[in-house]
Amino acid sequence: MAQPLVFILNGPNLNLLGRREPEIYGHDTLASVEELCRRSAEQLSLAVDFRQSNHEGELVDWIQEAGETADGIILNGGALTHTSVALLDALKGVGLPAIEVHLSNIHRREEFRRHSYPAQGAVGIIAGFGPQSYALALVAMSTLLHARPGLGQAGRAQASDEPHEAEA
């Protein structure tokens, strides 16, 4: 049996990790975050497809691609988190379990960063743990996909909006 595939999608400016506002985002690069994700996924019997784009339309295309090939999505939409109805619509359109991640605690920052459009299409949000936010999201996704094998791409039509034990 193949390992469940999780798309890990990163939005604008995350390619600047390690040099952009290190007092907020830390000194880790996106490459080191990707390596952390790959190691974590391997331990959890997950496969990952890790991508970054500064373009909203490309992220939408990748979410739609995930709907055809993946079992779950982990999304750090960057600044698009606070502005993009398109990301929300794409997440809702594909119906896969999605988890939103942020390196910083968005609720301790500027008011405008406290609102997330994609969160309305996500199972949950993990924020404020630096790169560990991604590792924690992979643990949560593994719990979702392994506890309910039909929840991913193959069984997304059966998924409901009702909470289940893994979401508690």
pLDDT per residue of the chain (168 residues) written in tens, 0 to 9: 689 999 999 999 999 999 987 777 778 999 999 999 999 999 999 999 999 999 999 999 999 999 999 999 999 999 999 889 999 999 999 999 999 999 988 876 667 666 688 889 999 999 999 999 999 999 999 999 988 666 565 444 334 444 434 443
In a 3-state reduction of DSSP, which class is residue 102? Answer: strand
- Residue 17 near residue 28, CB atoms below 8 Å: yes
Number of domains comprising the chain: 1
* pLDDT score for 140: 98
* pLDDT score for 60: 98
What is the distance between the alpha carbons of residues 79 and 158, in angstroms, rounded to a whole number? 32
What residue ranges in 11-145 does DSSP mark as E strands?
47-52, 72-76, 98-102, 124-127
In the sheet with 124-127, reading across from the earlier edge strand, the strands are 47-52, 5-10, 72-76, 98-102, 124-127
Q: What is the DSSP letter of 152?
A: S
* pLDDT score for 149: 61
134 is catalytic: no
Domain that holds residue 67: 5-167
25 is catalytic: yes
55, 82, 102, 164: the active-site residue: 102
What is the distance between the alpha carbons of residues 168 and 158, in angstroms, rounded to a whole number? 20
What is the distance between the alpha carbons of residues 129 and 109, in angstroms, rounded to a whole number? 14
CATH number where 63 lies: 3.40.50.9100
* pLDDT score for 71: 98
- Residue 155 near residue 134, CB atoms below 8 Å: no
